[in-house]
Amino acid sequence: MELSMDNKTLLLLCFAAYIVLMFVISHITAGKNKNKTGEDFNLAGRSVPLLLIVGSAVATQVGTGSSMGATGFAYTNGWAAVLYGLGMAIGISLCGKLFAHTRTWEVNTMSEEIGVYYEGNKWVMNLVTIGMYLASVGWLGAHIVGGGMYLAWLTEIDVTMARLIVGVIVALFVLKDGYGGVTWIASAQAVILFVGFVILAIASFNTVGGFEGLKAAAPEGAYSFLGLEKLNPIHAISIVFAEIMAILAVPSFRQRIYSSSDENSLKKGFYITGVISLTFCFIPPILGMTAYAHNPNLSQVNYAFPYLAMTVLPLWLGAVALISGLSATMSSAAGDASAAMNIMANDVYKLVYGHAPREDRVVSLSKIAVSISILAALIGTLTAEDILSYITSMVGLLITGQAIAGVMGRLWPRATWQGAIAAIAGGVVGSLVFQYVPAMNELFGYAVFPSMIFATAGGIIVSLVTPAKTMSEEDALKMIKAQRNSQELESQTA
């Protein structure tokens, strides 16, 4: 449906008003903070309360993949799209259960946390640094693409301009008030997107005559329990485990742990987020199946959401869709931009220069870091999408092995640093085997199970044939903190 100039103007004004509101919220809530130290700017002074833990985590959970991706998946696979939310709920609950205790360690990054499990080994820490920075930039680019698609589809502005607009706004979200501002903005976005998607689901649902209408129009097998009559059960379980592995390895979720006010609040926050994810997971299937009922011949499944917003629903609901969709993608983008900033200002700086940055320079370095990270993501989205796709596919190779190495170090005292590297490498090998062996592809549907098998086997076997650890986690933590402090002193006297 072609938009009139008045309708375009209205949607763009809604978008502009929404962005101004987000900046006002950030200024009122976090703008009063002085952000004197890197810990203030990158980790919100380690004082994020329960409400903001839940708000920011929910906003990230319902990001580009959960809104646009799951709705598109539901277009052809129906209730199977619930599996995304189920995996997210289990994943974030496990993350809270397994890793909430690291809040008391007062580490800055995932690299330092993994280092505690593996005697502060530099090879492991540097590998995690590189992998997780690339992961953050890759996901950031994906969210910018998603946000640009929402903005372009629903306002008909140029796609390149839409991506630039989204990238610049995300940068300003982070630059203005640091991670403290991001948590407040994300929490406001969580409320907007959740309410917005509920309104959209109800309105869409009514256009097809409720559940009976959905059932009558759904593709064969798509309306069955979890879509299992249409989707191979092994493929279905793979979707759940892929979401779990991603959450256990995503730096933005670890940043929430390190920045939380205390361990108990973090655990509660992640468990509450898991429950909210379960309630939300029924919305994308309704939206996707409704779009299919109205038009079973869309050229791309990702068009399901904008098709509903601009063709089936009235204009005011199109505005709700625009704001809700952008809330989902931009909150996820801001979270990944913050994670990239934290990794670059701490770990990447040490990797390049051999010492930590001076404390009085961390805030300025962090602002430079987030600018570079968003610029890199934008370059990938604007001029070399094939490169961005390559980066995100490479990140996909690393994720499962990274998650297994973290869980192995957390739960198995016999795990060694050599085993951690073997687990990460095994995850890569498993993913490659899946890609290039058709039988594996057909059996599993997704790379997560082959990757988990190779990563787990590699981690266990190599750990058992290499010398056991001689340093406790307590001593490793002391060593990492001592190195960080001595490097800061060294940089101040340099």
Q: Output DSSP code: residue 260.
A: B
SS3 of 48, please?
strand
pLDDT 10s digit of each residue in the chain, 494 long? Answer: 455 556 778 878 888 899 999 999 998 988 776 667 889 999 999 999 999 999 999 988 876 566 677 888 899 999 999 999 999 999 999 999 999 999 999 999 999 999 999 999 999 999 999 989 988 998 898 888 888 888 887 778 898 999 999 999 999 999 999 999 999 999 998 888 888 888 888 988 888 888 888 899 888 888 998 888 888 999 999 999 999 999 999 899 999 999 999 999 999 999 999 999 999 899 999 999 999 999 999 888 877 887 887 788 787 887 887 788 888 888 889 999 999 999 999 999 999 988 888 888 999 999 999 999 999 999 888 765 555 454 556 667 788 999 999 999 999 999 999 999 999 999 999 999 998 999 998 899 888 999 999 999 999 999 999 999 999 999 999 999 998 877 655 555 55
Sign of the dihedral defined by the CA atoms of residues 178, 183, 184, 186, in that order = positive
* Nearest residue to 112 (alpha-carbon basis) of 94, 129, 135: 129
Cα(186)–Cα(247) distance, integer angstroms: 18
Amino acid at 244: I
Cα(317)–Cα(43) distance, integer angstroms: 36
Cβ contacts of residue 448 below 8 Å, gap of 6+? Answer: 238, 241, 242, 245, 400
3-state secondary structure labels for all residues of 419-444: HHHHHHHHHHHHHHHHHHCHHHHHHH
Could you tell me the pTM of the whole model?
0.92
Spell out a b/e string for 12-50, using b for 16 or more CB atoms within 10 Å of the CB, else e.
bebbeebbeebbebbeebbbebebeebbbbbbbbeebeb
Phi, psi of 48 (to 5 degrees): -70, 120
Domain ranges for the chain, please list them. 5-387
Q: Which CATH superfamily is domain 5-387 in?
A: Sodium/glucose cotransporter (1.20.1730.10)
| Alpha-carbon distances of 234 from 75, 181, 442, 445, rounded to whole Å | 20, 41, 10, 8
